[in-house]
Amino acid sequence: MSAGTSPTGSFKKMVKDVPLLARAVRKFAEFPLFSGAQRRAFPGSAAFWEKRYRDGGNSGSGSYGRVAAFKAEVLNDFVRTKEVRNVIEFGCGDGAQLQLAKYPEYVGIDVATVPIQICSRRFTNDQTKRFYLSSSVPPDLGPFDLALSLEVIFHLVEDAVFDSYMRALFAASGRFVAIFSSNYEAQTSGAHVRHRRFTDWISQDAPSWESMGVVPNRFPFDPNRPNDTSFSDFYFFARRRS
Classify 230 as helix, strand or coil: strand
Q: What residue spans of the chain are helical by DSSP H?
A: 11-14, 36-41, 45-54, 65-81, 113-122, 159-171, 198-205
Contact 196, 162 (CB under 8 A): yes
Q: Provide the pLDDT for residue 186.
A: 86
Distances 194 to 28, 144, 153, 176, 183 between C-alpha atoms, Å? 13, 28, 8, 25, 11
Cis peptide before 138 (omega within 30 of 0): no
Q: Could you tell me if residue 5 is inside a domain?
A: no
Residue 17's pLDDT is 36
Query: Is residue 190 situated within a structural domain?
Result: yes
For residue 56, the domain's CATH number is: 3.40.50.150
Confirm whether 2 is domain-assigned. no
**pLDDT, position 25:** 29
Q: Does 6 reside within a domain?
A: no
CB atoms within 10 A of CB 239: 16
1 domain-assigned: no
Report how far residue 185's alpha carbon sits from residue 198's, in angstroms, rounded to the nearest whole number.
Answer: 9
Rg (CA), the chain: 17
Position 36 in a domain: yes
pLDDT tens per residue across all 242 residues of the chain: 333 333 334 444 444 433 332 332 233 233 333 334 444 455 565 666 566 666 665 555 566 689 999 999 999 999 999 999 999 999 999 999 999 999 999 999 998 899 999 999 999 999 999 999 998 999 888 799 999 999 999 989 889 999 999 999 999 999 999 999 999 988 766 666 899 999 999 999 999 999 999 999 999 989 899 888 999 999 999 999 87
Is 208 a domain residue?
yes
Q: Judge whether 159 lies within some domain.
A: yes
Q: Domain total for the chain?
A: 1
Please provide residue 148's backbone torsions phi and psi, each rounded to the nearest 5 degrees.
Answer: -115, 145
119 in Cβ contact with 59 (< 8 Å): no
Domain extent, residue 68, equals 11-239
Query: Residue 226 has what pLDDT?
Result: 85
